[in-house]
Chain A
């Protein structure tokens, strides 16, 4: 019985400490560190190096940090510290209307997702953000928000493989 109560108490503590909702705008690629992320979102889980998942009550956030190996198809060698955000994906756990996210969509270019029935992409190349939405039951709901390097960061922190970077930034 005591063991059961201890487990229940620990569970309550974990739920109690789980953050209710993140402010994704506060997380900036190439600036926000893992310490800062975890101070806000708590302990992550994952079995991958430098790619961590965080759960809040309302969303799951996957963060790729600078230390993760770069995909072969990426023609950049990124100048970024290992424990700094490279990009991240926020996916709500429950149905959320895009209109309720308080995002200024006038800064985005909306396009129908070519291969999807009711999905739309909102692109903001300048800030490195792509929002995916889906129209269902007459409402446009948020599927996910992805934020990666901004247009400027793609210039200043990317050495084209075989070339020298525009910036003097060194890890």
Chain B
């Protein structure tokens, strides 16, 4: 799937976007993933290689997690379904607003479990 996105719609950085997202359709080789951050290292002065490497490793680590999150969407799993699965896995009840904002909260909820349990 990673290869399909890389050779299809591609990976894009969209600094300033309020959330990461996906686009296109992996089934016709147009699947894309959009990151809301800027992965470039900026230095006001001589480049400190140690600082640059630390910044890049942390940034790419988060982007790798985002990629897994978005690939699951490309695989056809939605935020509400994944949040309900996470709630079952955790053995807890959770109520999300029946609105767009509630779905965003659901996205953050299952993503947090992914981060906690898959590290």
Chain A: residues with CB nearer than 8 A to chain B? Answer: 48-51, 62, 64-66, 68-71, 73-74, 76, 78, 86-87, 89, 109, 111, 113-117, 119, 121, 123-125, 128-130, 132, 134, 143-144, 146, 148-149, 154
Contacts and interface: CB of A to CB of B under 8 A. Distances in A.
Interface stretch (B35-43, B48-56, B57-65, B101-109): B101-109
B80 interface: yes
B21 to A, nearest CB: 6
B80 to A, nearest CB: 6
Would you call the interface of chain A mostly helix, strand, loop, or mixed?
Answer: strand
A154 B95 contact: yes
A106 B40 CA distance: 47
B21 A64 contact: no
Contact-size category for B: 20 to 34
Given A116-B73, A121-B80, A132-B81, A87 B93 contact: yes
A33 B94 CA distance: 18
B90 A71 contact: yes
B99 A123 contact: yes
Interface of B is mostly: helix
A123 B103 CA distance: 10
Contact of A132 (B73, B80, B88, B99): B80
B115 interface: no
B84 A89 contact: yes
A132 B78 contact: yes
A68 B92 contact: yes
B11 to A, nearest CB: 15
Given A68-B91, A144-B81, 20 more contacts: A66-B93, A69-B93, A70-B94, A71-B90, A71-B109, A73-B109, A87-B93, A89-B84, A113-B78, A113-B103, A115-B22, A115-B73, A115-B79, A116-B76, A116-B78, A119-B78, A121-B103, A123-B100, A125-B97, A130-B80
A112 to B, nearest CB: 10
A132 to B, nearest CB: 6
B94 to A, nearest CB: 4
Contacts of B24: 117
A45 to B, nearest CB: 12
